Amino acid sequence: MVIEQTYFIRGGDFSHAGDASSKVKKLLKQLGVDARKIKNIVIALYEAEVNIVAHAWEGMIRISIEADRISCTLEDKGPGIEDIGQAMVEGYSTASKEVREMGFGAGMGLSNIKRNTDVLEITSEVGVGTKVYMVNYF
Amino acid sequence: MFKGKKYHALRVDPNKCFGCVHCIKVCPTEAIRVKNGLAVVDDLRCVDCGNCMRACPVDAFYIIQDDLSKIHDYKYRVALFPSVMIGQFPESITDDQIYWAIMQLGFTHVYEVEQPISWLVDLMLDHHVRNPEKKPLISSFCPAIVRLIQIKYPSLVDNIMQVKAPHDLAAAFVSETLVKQGASPEETGLFYIAPCSAKIAAVKDPVGEKESSVNGVINMNELYNRVMKVIASHPKAEFTGFRDYLSREGILWPLTRGEARLFKRRSMAVDGIHNVVRILEKIETEEIPDVDFLELRSCDQGCAGGILLSGNRFMNVERLARRSRRYPRYSEVVNDNSIVDAVKATLHLEEVVASRAFELDPDRGKALEKMAKLERIICQLPAIDCAACGAPNCHALAEDMVLGKAKMSDCVHLQQQWQHQGKMTNERAFNNLEKIWGRGRFEADCKKRGARNEGF
């Protein structure tokens, strides 16, 4: 049995940043997933969701939940990441001044996602977009 | 991890409830359904916040309490009440008149619970220093919020401050004081005058402690009415002796920011349970990273908005603010330090354990199946969220269906469509409606209860 959901994310729409993550959180609670695991998943997903809002023009989040895991694929149309290795470094950020003033873009995003997921794959093409694939086991 | 039946202070009077959607719509945990024309509350989900009682147009909700006559089982009969009790009265009535009137009801001692508040502050700051990893610490003050976190935010139960509430402080302080004066504990009855259903439930079925520190709990609304009957224009005596340790900060404690203002680090105060839900969602996702302390209260304006209070909550806050200025700062109050250790030793709260009120099934595979079914049902429902099925919204009805508690034909709009398509007889559709709303519920009746509710 697999549960699949899709959420559309609009770039720059900070007031709705986090909506998809909270919907996923509700699903995981209904499935009785351990509270700490839910926390990890939702922190990672929220970071990735905010990345789309802050950097990309638009994006899609597809999640699929199975009995032992959740896989999330976040695909965006946006500027892409030039050097993924550097972007993973804590504190490194390309966020604009405006985004930072809103309290986002501290450069903790990707490293925070890494810390909270079991599998993380990031692929990106500059000028086209970024794809983040992450898996958490329950 | 799974906690069974909980004690609830809130009950529905079947003779008054006539079946409408007011309570189901305001419940923060979607715990209420209407069946056979009566509101039914889910024990596992109810947090005793009292929103249903506030919203009910016919006063069908009532609160279980101890009978006042129970105080006469004791030689020393102590009334313990929060400062918001005083805030209900017009300012022309003095503190001493109120104290006197409460004693006329049979009490021998009358204490406000927020004293000596500096001991509670010490314990809270100490708990913060000892547990730097628990960030943010969440106040344990409001029992509706503690229960809400238990059932809806299990990942945050460890953040709940392991320090008890002011009524526990006062109970320990008063019993130590009376023992010092020669009263035996068996002869002393401590009665807490509660401002809300949640505090009553917390005394009857405490979370994080084996048994409550008080011997009984009295409904503040009932006590207020009795006090109003006996209150005299001139106080018969002075009772300042019962307020020796009361401070400005103590008086303001049950109001919003009452705790947060004393928590010298980064703190935030949120009141109103629906606002609290929004903040807890963000805390869970670590969207609010740098707060050390969170004061969360179920009622708007804190306990001044308690469901068992009379009068206007804002007037209550105003009176207490003015009154507090006549009292010394808590740091200036000279406490009885001979009993401080004995009192503090009773104020440790055990760890709060999570319970799972929103799980579709304890078996993950079955839960997934139910969730898939729920998704299919959602497609069929109209998303009008009218609650005419007896559930608060379409999503809640779909949940009830996969849990085997409701069926597709409970949706009145689907029924209409099925009748229109000739798939359901009028008679069956009507029977379904009467099963939810009760027999004869749709007959014309000018004296129908709740019919004159203008809604504002």
Percent of chain B at pLDDT above 70?
98
Best probe of the B interface among A2, A26, A30, by most B CBs < 10 A, is A30
> From the CA of B365, how many Å to the nearest CA of chain A?
6
B443: Cβ contacts below 8 Å, ≥ 6 apart? none
Contact A31 B368 (CB under 8 A): yes
| Mean pLDDT over the full length of chain A | 88
Q: Which of A54, A66, A67 is nearest to A13 (CA)?
A: A54
Q: Which CATH number applies to B10-62? A: 3.30.70.20
Segment B182-203 mean pLDDT: 94
Angle between helices B220-230 and B95-104 (to 10 degrees): 100
Locate the chain A residue with the closest alpha carbon to B360: A30
What pLDDT is stored for residue A106 in this prediction? Answer: 61
Topology given in CATH for the domain delimited by A3-137: Heat Shock Protein 90 (3.30.565)
| Residues A129/A75, Cβ–Cβ less than 8 Å | yes
Nearest residue to B140 via CA among B454, B403, B351: B351
Mean pLDDT, range B67-76, rounded to an integer: 93
Instruction: State how far the Cα of B17 lies from the Cα of B321, in Å rounded to an integer.
Output: 38
Please indicate if any CB of chain B lies within 8 Å of the CB of A15: no
Give the bridge partners for B192, in sequence order.
B80, B217
Percent of chain A with pLDDT over 90: 64
| Mean pLDDT for the stretch of residues B268-293 | 90
Which of A3, A35, A43 is closest, CB to CB, to B368?
A: A3
> What pLDDT, on the 0 to 100 scale, is given for residue B449?
81
| pLDDT band at B445; cut points 50, 70, 90 | confident
* B290 lies within 8 A of chain A by CB: no
Q: Does B151 touch chain A (CB under 8 A)?
A: no
What percent of chain B is modeled with pLDDT above 90? 80
pLDDT at position A108 is 59
- The whole-number average pLDDT for the span B215-235 is 89
Helix (H, G, I), strand (E, B) or coil at B169: helix
Query: Is B285 in Cβ contact with A18 (below 8 Å)?
Result: yes
- The pTM of the full predicted model, rounded to 2 decimals, is 0.91
Beta carbons of A1 and B365 less than 8 Å apart: yes
Among residues B178, B169, B170, the alpha carbon closest in space to that of B108 is found at B178
3-state class (DSSP) for residue B118:
helix
Mean pLDDT value of segment A113-134: 93
To which residue do tokens 């983040």 refer? A132
What pLDDT score was predicted for residue A44? 94
Q: Which of B95 and A84 is assigned the larger pLDDT?
A: B95
* Residue limits of CATH 3.30.70.20 in chain B: 10-62
Q: Which of B275, B248, B273, B272 is nearest to B262 (CA)?
A: B248
The answer to whether B287 contacts chain A (CB < 8 Å) is yes
Search chain A and give the residue with CA nearest B289.
A103
Distance CA A42, CA A117 (A): 10
pLDDT 10s digits, B129-165? 999 889 899 999 999 999 999 999 988 999 999 999 9
Is the per-residue pLDDT at A115 higher than 60?
yes
Contact indicator for B288, B301 with CB cutoff of 8 Å: no
Residue A103: its pLDDT value, please?
65
3-state helix, strand, coil in chain A (%, to 5): 40, 30, 30
A35/B contact by beta carbon, under 8 A? yes
Interchain CB contact of A104 with B (< 8 Å): no
Inter-chain touch B359–A31, beta carbons under 8 Å: yes
- Chain A's closest residue to B157, CA to CA, is A35
Chain A residues near residue B154 by CB distance under 8 angstroms: 35
Q: Which one is predicted more confidently, B355 or B41? A: B41
Of the candidates B151, B140, B149, B143, the one whose C-alpha atom is nearest the C-alpha of residue B3 is: B151
Binned at pLDDT 50, 70 and 90, residue A85 comes out as confident
B286 band by pLDDT with thresholds 50, 70 and 90: confident
| A4-61 pLDDT, tens digit each | 999 999 998 998 888 999 999 999 999 999 988 999 999 999 999 999 998 999 999 9
Helix axis angle for B412-420 and B426-437, nearest 10°, is 170
pLDDT tens-digit profile of B295-310? 999 999 999 999 999 9
Strands B10-12, B61-63: pairing kind? antiparallel
Q: What would the mean pLDDT of B344-348 be, rounded to a whole number?
A: 92
Question: Residue B3: what pLDDT?
Answer: 44
Residue B21 near residue B39 (C-beta atoms within 8 A): no
User: Lowest-confidence range among B1-10, B353-362, B416-425?
Assistant: B1-10
Q: Nearest 5 degrees, angle CA A18-CA A19-CA A24?
A: 100
Task: Report chain B's mean pLDDT, rounded to a whole number.
Answer: 92
Q: What is the pLDDT of residue B2?
A: 38
| pLDDT of B265 | 83
The 3-class SS string of A24-81 reads: HHHHHHHCCCCHHHHHHHHHHHHHHHHHHHHHCCEEEEEEEECCCEEEEEEEEECCCC
Res. B414: pLDDT tops 90: yes
Distance CA B21, CA B26 (A): 9
With cut-offs at 50, 70 and 90, classify the pLDDT of residue B447.
confident
Is residue B128's pLDDT more than 80? yes
- How sure is the predictor about B1, in pLDDT bands with cuts at 50, 70 and 90? very low
ipTM: 0.82
Distances (CA, A) of B179 to B77, B80, B103, B174, B333: 14, 17, 20, 8, 22
pLDDT score recorded for residue B5: 58
CA-wise closest residue to B310 among B42, B149, B88: B88
Q: Where are the domains of chain A?
A: 3-137
The pLDDT value given to residue A88? 80
Q: What is the DSSP secondary structure assignment for residue A133, as one 8-state letter?
A: E
Q: What's residue B355's pLDDT?
A: 85
pLDDT at B399: 95
